[in-house]
Structure 1
Amino acid sequence: VTHERQHRGLTAASLTNTSYDMEPLKSGKKIPTEQFLPASDAKKLQKKRISFRAMVAIGLPTALAIIALVTGLLVWHFHYRYNGRVRKLFSGYLTISSQTFSDAYENSNTTEYKELASKVSKQLKSIYGQVRLLSKNHVGSNVQGFSEGSNNGIIAYYLSEFNVPESQVSAVDEAMASLDGVGNARKSRRGFGRRTDNSLIIDGMTSGAVDARLAGRNLKRSVKRSHHAHGNQTDIIRSPGFPDSAYLPNLYTEWQIRADPEHRMRLEFDVLDLEKDCRNDFIKVYDSLAPSEKQVIAEKCGYRLPGEKICGEKPPKTVYTIKSNQATVRFHSDLSYVSEGFSAEFEAFEPTNPCPGRFQCDNDLCVSPNLQCDGYNDCGDMSDERGCTCNETQIKCMNGFCKPSFWRCDGVNDCGDNTDEENCGNCKAQEFRCRNSRCIPAQKQCNGYNDCGDGSDESQCEKSIAVHCSALTYKCKNNQCISKLNPMCDGETDCADGSDEAECKCGTKPYKSSRIVGGKDSNDGEWPWQVSLHVKTQGHVCGASVISNRWLVTAAHCVQDNEKFNYSQPDQWEVYLGLLNQGETSKSTLKHVKCIISHPLYDHLSYDNDIALMELDSPVTLSQNIWPVCLPEATHDFPAGRSVWITGWGKLREEVDAIASVLQKAEVRIINNTVCSKLMDNGITPRMICAGVLSGGVDACQGDSGGPMTSTESNGRMFLAGVVSWGDGCGRRNRPGIYTRVTEYRSWIREMTGV
């Protein structure tokens, strides 16, 4: 935990009676967490009388010293100020597998600690020395602490300082990112393994720029203290000077607190008194022994309400207008401290001009005037889309609405009166359009005969019939083909041999439920097929889906090697099943990978055939938290306009680096491939399926790759419609997410896995 303060004016109780205690975990490692450091009391200075002779004796050397100091400052000012030098601090950790952790590495005064710290510092210098831009600006590196890593190895936490010309700051950031292997917008984070001398083997390196507020030259860093917290023990720490004096300005303090093996810590702040400006006063908690921004657990600054969990449903675009200057609002809540909270926003307005500079919806919602007549229902009641004059890029619907032209002939009635689906070279009025594009008289639908030839005119009827087999019909195990659309596992036996209902222990949710960008937290067990794939020492990288007790489906681009890391090697991966919160991996089932099978035709440039299989080293026990999703047959139809779900722990917004802690879920709509290809610059192949919310704000993002896109089918079962693959940014308007179409790989999956 770090606490930094830059201005006077805070009362004595900036932090009081902070306590933490230990609770056991079923399994786990030591979890290091930084904490506050107390500062020593200020010493009082007293004036003394000094004789004239003593003043001369003291004054001359003092004057010379002042002259030398001023000269030095001028040189420094000229050299650094006018050459624009910037101080950059990077923090991170190295994973050392060639050393075994012991308690001696917890104490910075031991010989073992000092020797290993020296080796790590030299190793960092060697690593930076391989990049000229880093080596010439590197000032030095210091080890901040050691903790126990996987397989009893050691994690070394460090701070590295660079003195960088202002014009090269971005280049240095990029050079450091290259060491860390940070990927692009839809790819996983990449690490690397290397051995730089005969004594230390470095399995991975993670680094990032230190919070700029902590890198200020005017901060006075107090002595760092460490503490080892033990099970069933509660300790109290207090902010510097409390309760006798105010917190000093420009002071940066730290605590490092370690847990016993197989335990975790609970840190409670009883009193927080912070300045309003977050630049001047803040508290940060890290899951690290160095202030690494990639391992921030929480930050508190400014004036905040208590951290209450808000997880209820927000009514879409709902505004209640009270046309008086008084209102009474009553909230009803239960007595739980951890269940759903509530939140409301209010805004006062001038009755004669309720939406200054904005468009007033009929429901009194105020939206940007740029959203008026753009084809999207931004108000929620369509009032922003009424009475519009369509431009050349829009469809003019017969009902007066304007819709984006790329929605024409996509198979979805976007206008509401079917204007956008007329004159599309389809069937005439009173005709039925078959899936094979044939047109038949509408009265022939559901007449018991296969008039289309592919059975589609009988596919959604009360009774299924036997038809000639084609690429669009479902084939039973006895080689009989039936007309019914998507008959597999719908709760009704349609095949004479019952094979359509024979393998249906999949796709059910044991729990009933009421970032993914624009998503919300999932409930425990809500998505039991969701898997978190971790690269050892790097944390969560990709998602995957359980399809049996031994096999997972993920994206091929998640398991492709690069020049720094062998992602195709099974021993690099850890698989967490039944996981909800990334901070509670010890509660989930950990498995390792025996075999990785990437599709042989995967194209890393186009992301075509972006699918891979993982075999676990041993079968996992299926339960209410771990359950396979249903695999669709090649003939399964996921039509445009169908609502589907995407889930994952990826980034919550495109512009941030941190991934979600709790599994996120979001509902999106399948988009016609012809329309999607236009939106995505003709980069869509028939083996891809598009889904999203074209108005923006809901999408998969970095860290979601390989995860599932699932569709709720007949009988409530969920089928794997797609695998998160790629996209242009995250949640951008008219830029849907692109997924691997699973129906195209059903035979390949069965051949490789037997599932």
Structure 2
Amino acid sequence: MDAKYTHAREERIDFMNNREKKSSSSSRTLGIIFGVLLAIIIAAVTAFLIWFFVFKEEKKQSGLLTSPSKRVFSGHMKLAQVNYDEKLEDTSSQEFRDFGEKLQQELETLYQTDPLLTKYYTKSVVTAFSEGVIAYYWSQFDIPATDLEMLPEFSEERILDALESGIQKQRRGIQPNDVKIIEITASATDSRMARIPTEEDCFYRLEAEDVEKMFQSPGYPSGYEAKTRCQWQIRAAVENTVIVNFPNFDIEDDCTDDFVSIFDSLSPDYSQAITKQCGQRPPSNPLEVVSSGNIMLINFITDSSVQKPGFNATYKIIPKIKAQTCGELLTGSKGVFTSPLHPKFYPPAVDCKWTIKVPEGSKVRVKFNMFRMKEPGVDVSNCHKDYVEIMDTKYCGELSSLSLTSETNVLDVMFHSDESYTDKGFTAEYTAFDPKNRKMNLFLY
């Protein structure tokens, strides 16, 4: 091969120094990173826009898309100078409508003592009446998006202050035939439970009697739908309490989405809530609740798309004296006692005292085989709501075991439940304990 041909086929080769190599590598890396970030940003923006418009459309179709932030408070008003009429129990009666509208106007006037509440006040709705005369209501305030910094101002304390100030002002100018409000309560309420009984579907008024009756969630047992809003008002004669048993209970596990909320009232007032439940309960451990008086309110709320069977329930009366009678003098070498109506949930607003007395020279040993008095937001080191008190110490919450020995042959066991949130309570057994008998001591342990 001649030299001329060889020269023509030669290729030029350039060598890069280290600095140039690093620069080129960095450029390629930056380009790759930028491309990946750009792709992530585009995907995120696309996903957000899809979510936003789908979410907006779903909210629009469900009627939940509103610009203001809603705050709802509920409670009851105890009235004077009013003769009770049973027609007030019928939400379709003219008497209910007329008296309800009168009290709704009165509530609007009461809120006028607070300029902030007046500015955002939307409406009040009277939902029921009971003997006493007691009217049950809820009030709504809508805060627009431009004023959301005002939300913390809408507290229960502020609402109550305004109502009580308005009542004091009202009393100074009250006329002989005017309705007089002598007591009022207000509690922050889940707006999904704010119902208008004269307009809503899935709103029921039930009368409890000696004979067991039944009601159930919509669609049971095939399954309930999302966005269900149901309410049952249960009443009984004044000398009775209401007991409701849920032999079948299976709803979604998340209590923020789907739940049953039960009240010792005809208003969804959390200061008088008996319990809030979700999930599944086996038939061997049914949910059974009892009111302190002759009324009860049950709400069924669903938001999730998870389809569950729901529940069926029975209701009847228990004489008030039976539901609220508890505590006694216990003698003998051993025995058993329980919280009121166990294994049902104990009623609200009950106080009991058991005095256990064993022979002289012995002491009392008490063992709680089951102990459950759980309540939302309660510090178990304080036990300021529901509790068992023994030897000046209060016990609450859920305890796997609790055994105590008295200092003498007499031991007092006190049980207290307040007006809100009840539970299964306890079962306990006691035994006479002879401190001088070692064999007996070993046997008891």
TM-score, normalised with respect to structure 2: 0.49
More strand by share: 2
More helix by share: 2
